[in-house]
Structure 1
Amino acid sequence: MQQQQKKIGLVWFRNNLRIRDNIALKKAADENDQVIAVYFFDPKYFAKDAFGFRKTEKYRAQFLIETVQDLKQNLAKLNITLLTYFDAPENKLNTICDEFSVATIYTQKEWTQEEIDTNKAVKQPLTNVNFLEDYDQFLYHPNTVSRNFSNIPNVFTGFRKKLEKYVDILDEVKISKLPESNSIENSTSIPTLSDLGFEDFTISHKTAFPFKGGETEGLNRIDYYLFESKKVSFYKKTRNGLVGVDYSTKFSPWLANGSVSAKTIYDKVKKYEKEYGKNQSTYWVIFELIWRDFFKYISLKYNNKIFKIGGILDRNYHWNTDKELINQWINGETKDDFVNANMIEIKETGWMSNRGRQNVASYFAKELLQDWRIGAAYFESLLLDYDVHSNYGNWMYVAGVGNDPRDRKFNTQLQAERYDSNYKFRNLWLAKTLF
């Protein structure tokens, strides 16, 4: 009697770099005799973009390396081997599938152009391999929200109210440990900063985000912010802060690369509310997760329009590209000290508060009248918590080509008086010191 061939599944990790609540990992473990995992440090994400910025600068590159190191360790605890390559997926996946006789590739569904192009290139030679994608970066799963994304409301309030009233949030999925025989020999290594083309660096001691990448650190931060410090109960009052580690949750960098899921945060907030009571602040963390979902649904609705100069509104504004003004903005050398302080912060740390982001983006687009896509590309390069949907959604919003029907302009001086009246933030980043 012929022995049945072992069924092997490959989990291709993308922006879902976690073992907790990971649909691709869960399906692969449930449907196969053996599971292997792979992550690609794709060179195109470390190359220069059309505006001359590296798509991923040193801060996020370091955070990503730490994240993948943690993922490798966490997968090893489940007896799953993570292969890592500094190469494009389309150059390697076919070979890996051949080498290990892979039946199915499991991955997180992406829908923006670069990821679609990668998928096409990957699938072309994979004639005998199934390719299974799942939406896995939402709080409200698309299958429960809409069969037709063109029906998604353009205004956040309408979107939020409908979801909260009619849609359930799905449970987290659980992954069990696989037998020891599941793991394979691994001759691959995680690239260093130097491999990716960066020099070693030390982050400024003034940073408001002194954390490392990875699921372990992300879950620790959630537990600290909720259960240890209980600062979540004051979040709505402190979230517009500018200085320090705890004025906001700081969950966004882990959310952005999928080290933690939105559902995990939601479940932990609900657990906190059960134990310690709910208030406007605890709700506001969930409110922000719904905003994050909103920009992902707007991206699903409008596709590449989120990258176009006219935005989703097809607005025909005149935008400039004055290199001198752009560089002054980047280097914190404008006429506005509040903008300057925020721009120096991002340049030296890869982090900026939500309040700061709104102000510097409004100043760039509405005061300097520069092409908003250049500002968005700079944020993409520098921000630790860069998320394509939130980044371009927020920039469109502020530039008046997105989801804000009022097309407002921030009065940065008034904002500085309101949120930095004691100059604590501006002094922190603008003070000249010898050492």
Structure 2
Amino acid sequence: MQNDRPSANGKKDHEPRSDGETPDRQSIAIHWFRRDLRLHDNPSLVAAAAADRLIPIYVFDPDDYGPSEYGGRRSFRYDKTGFHRTRFRTEAVADLRASLRALGSELYVRVGDPAEVIPSFAERTGAEVVHAGSWNVPEERTTEARVRGALADRDEPTPLKTDPGHTLYHPADLPDGPAGVEDTYTPFRKSVENAADVEVRAPLGVPSLPPVPSPLGDDEDPLAPGRIPEPADLLDGGSAGDETGEGDGTGDGDVDRRPDDALQYRGGEAAGIARLREYLWEGDHLRQYKKTRNGLVGRNYASKLSPWLNEGCLSPRAVHDEVRTYEAVRVENDSTYWLIFELIWRDFFAFQVAKHGDRYFSREGIRERDDIEWATGEEEERRLRRWRQGRTGVPFVDAGIRELRATGYLSNRARQNVASFLANDCRVDWRKGAAFFETHLVDYDPCSNYGNWAYIAGVGNDSRDRAFDVVWQANRYDEDGEYVRRWVPEVADLPTAYVHEPWTMDPGTQGHHGVHLGEDYPWPVLEMK
């Protein structure tokens, strides 16, 4: 990602804009940043930069934080956004503000309902158009529709113009559009890889930004920049104090055993670009990614770009562009392709949500499964509570939950296993596990998260049985127990023969190793075969 890449208007990145003579009336545009917290390859920002004056704004919507109803049939309450992603997001907004200021612009930050804040800015500044990115997730489409409606209801209606910029392939370039995407991944992948007229568009450069309008000069100046809130301000004592919001006594302080070699996820475009360069160029890790991608421990077994991709600090097209450059300069092999392969998976889930809408988030899923006997009542609550606490009595599962809560991140291998255990072994409503991930993941993306959970639970995009044998998986991918020993100290001193299956120890063996099941570490929540 070169800093001198030409922008969409042909100028070099960061080149000062020359306005020439000031016209009698200057056009004013608003760019509403959402999950596109970057300057590079941002189509809606490029469109907004065509105005004479530009007002960049970000709105923290209180409805995105704290307890919320899941909605729909069989609804339940959960915390929407926990500490890790809230911290990452506030850091990303701060980084975006710094980048805009470096270009002579500003980022206006507000806390409130976007359907009130954005029209108010338009009214008081005389903005003629609002630009924003668009997503096909039902919640985000609802917010967008409310803002559009509020802008249209003004005495002088203001249009909201949106551009998609979060997927690798532009929706308009798909052979049959999102509605024509098949419900299994391989046909979709082949359709975009093999079609002669479907290509990944070249990423856009950073546009030259027009200045912000002059302040109005009164006590109610709408162009006061505004303060970026602290995570605790947004969480308001819910997920900030106890991440589950359920008072189960297993908040950050009880599980924070972050290994020294863990990647620190700092929000912002600068940090995202730095991680991309570190993984590809400085560490040269991409050349062996296919071999390392099932890793559980360490900084570089995977690219770990997802937090920046999902908060919009990195563009998938820019990542694709960088991988292609790496292939031309360093090496092109199965590992380099595999990273692009996973970007296409990300697109697949995004377009599936665009196609199926709310059905994608229902318990029965897009396959409308009504033949699964889900646990109910106290038994479901007991299993779910033990799983959330990382005290299922199955060390591999508990290690995954504890890592997630401590760091906000979990490897793909661990995600699949903890999800399968809850949905397929415990038979707990898979959406409650997916919602727990929504709370805690620093890289939460609604389409990929709920799409993968539905896939594992057997109600989504695969007709095959996706249940995992978590004990077999533990012995296969954590052969010496290194991962479990890091996150489940209760069993850290057990011999490898027992570290993944402590319930196989007889009372004498338990006493010999100082691990008494039911006291030092729980018996499994289910009978293990």
Q: TM-score range by the shorter chain?
A: over 0.9
Matches within 5 A, 1:221-240: 221-240=275-294
TM norm structure 2: 0.79
Rounded Cα–Cα distance in structure 2 between residues aligned with 1:4 and 1:358: 60
Say yes or no: does 1:315 pair with 2:334. Answer: no
| Aligned AA (1:78) | L
The Cα offsets for residues 357-383 of structure 1, whole Å up to 9 and x where unpaired, read as 000111111000000010010000000
Retained in 1: the 8 A contact 2:136–2:350?
Answer: no
In structure 1, what is the equivalent of residue 36 of structure 2? 16
Say yes or no: does 1:258 pair with 2:300. Answer: no
The Cα offsets for residues 173-200 of structure 1, whole Å up to 9 and x where unpaired, read as 1233335566765341101122112558
Distance change in 2, residues 1:183/1:396 (3 Å): farther
Retained in 2: the 8 A contact 1:104–1:130?
Answer: yes
Q: Which moved more, 1:391-400 or 1:401-410?
A: 401-410
Say yes or no: does 1:205 pair with 2:258. Answer: yes
Say yes or no: does 1:40 pair with 2:65. Answer: no
| Aligned AA (1:359) | N
1:149 CA displacement:
2.7
Say yes or no: does 1:328 pair with 2:383. Answer: no
Rounded Cα–Cα distance in structure 2 between residues aligned with 1:194 and 1:347: 17
The Cα offsets for residues 234-255 of structure 1, whole Å up to 9 and x where unpaired, read as 1111111001111110100000
Match of 1:136 among 161, 165, 168: 165
Distance change in 2, residues 1:183/1:282 (3 Å): farther
Say yes or no: does 1:393 pair with 2:427. Answer: no
Where 1:402 maps in the other structure, the secondary structure is coil
Rounded Cα–Cα distance in structure 1 between residues aligned with 2:412 and 2:185: 17
1:146 CA displacement:
4.3
| Aligned AA (1:158) | P
| Aligned AA (1:319) | W
Match of 1:288 among 335, 342, 355: 342
Distance change in 2, residues 1:76/1:146 (3 Å): farther
Retained in 2: the 8 A contact 1:80–1:182?
Answer: no
Q: Which moved more, 1:90-99 or 1:20-29?
A: 90-99
Q: CA RMSD in A?
A: 1.8
Distance change in 2, residues 1:213/1:365 (3 Å): same
1:147 CA displacement:
4.9
| Aligned AA (2:147) | V
Retained in 2: the 8 A contact 1:79–1:177?
Answer: no
Distance change in 2, residues 1:102/1:62 (3 Å): same
Matches within 5 A, 1:379-418: 379-418=437-476
Structure 2 gap segments, 5+ residues each: 1-21, 70-75, 216-222, 242-251, 493-529
1:422 CA displacement:
0.6
1:3 CA displacement:
6.1
Distance change in 2, residues 1:324/1:106 (3 Å): same
In structure 2, what is the equivalent of residue 106 of structure 1? 131
In structure 2, what is the equivalent of residue 272 of structure 1? 326
Where 2:150 maps in the other structure, the secondary structure is coil
In structure 1, what is the equivalent of residue 430 of structure 2? 372
In structure 1, what is the equivalent of residue 226 of structure 2? 188
The Cα offsets for residues 229-274 of structure 1, whole Å up to 9 and x where unpaired, read as 1001111111110011111101000001100010010000111111
Retained in 2: the 8 A contact 1:78–1:176?
Answer: no
Rounded Cα–Cα distance in structure 2 between residues aligned with 1:209 and 1:390: 21
Retained in 2: the 8 A contact 1:209–1:351?
Answer: no
Greater helix content: 1
Retained in 1: the 8 A contact 2:265–2:307?
Answer: no
1:123 CA displacement:
2.2
The Cα offsets for residues 264-293 of structure 1, whole Å up to 9 and x where unpaired, read as 100001111111120111111100100000
Where 1:274 maps in the other structure, the secondary structure is helix
Match of 2:96 among 71, 85, 88: 71
1:148 CA displacement:
4.1
Retained in 2: the 8 A contact 1:41–1:85?
Answer: yes
| Aligned AA (1:38) | I
Say yes or no: does 1:4 pair with 2:24. Answer: yes
Rounded Cα–Cα distance in structure 2 between residues aligned with 1:36 and 1:179: 9
Rounded Cα–Cα distance in structure 1 between residues aligned with 2:210 and 2:438: 40
Where 2:449 maps in the other structure, the secondary structure is helix
1:334 CA displacement:
1.1
Rounded Cα–Cα distance in structure 2 between residues aligned with 1:343 and 1:23: 37
1:75 CA displacement:
1.4
TM norm structure 1: 0.95
| Aligned AA (1:156) | Y
Structure 1 gap segments, 5+ residues each: none
Rounded Cα–Cα distance in structure 2 between residues aligned with 1:176 and 1:390: 30
Retained in 2: the 8 A contact 1:79–1:183?
Answer: no
1:408 CA displacement:
2.1
Rounded Cα–Cα distance in structure 2 between residues aligned with 1:348 and 1:183: 45
Q: Which moved more, 1:270-279 or 1:122-131?
A: 122-131
In structure 2, what is the equivalent of residue 124 of structure 1? 149
Aligned length in residues: 431
1:87 CA displacement:
1.1
Where 1:81 maps in the other structure, the secondary structure is coil
Retained in 1: the 8 A contact 2:175–2:191?
Answer: no
Distance change in 2, residues 1:309/1:297 (3 Å): same
Q: Percent identity?
A: 37
Retained in 1: the 8 A contact 2:55–2:106?
Answer: yes
Retained in 2: the 8 A contact 1:81–1:186?
Answer: no
Distance change in 2, residues 1:8/1:179 (3 Å): closer
Rounded Cα–Cα distance in structure 2 between residues aligned with 1:285 and 1:111: 24
Rounded Cα–Cα distance in structure 1 between residues aligned with 2:478 and 2:121: 54
Rounded Cα–Cα distance in structure 2 between residues aligned with 1:391 and 1:179: 37
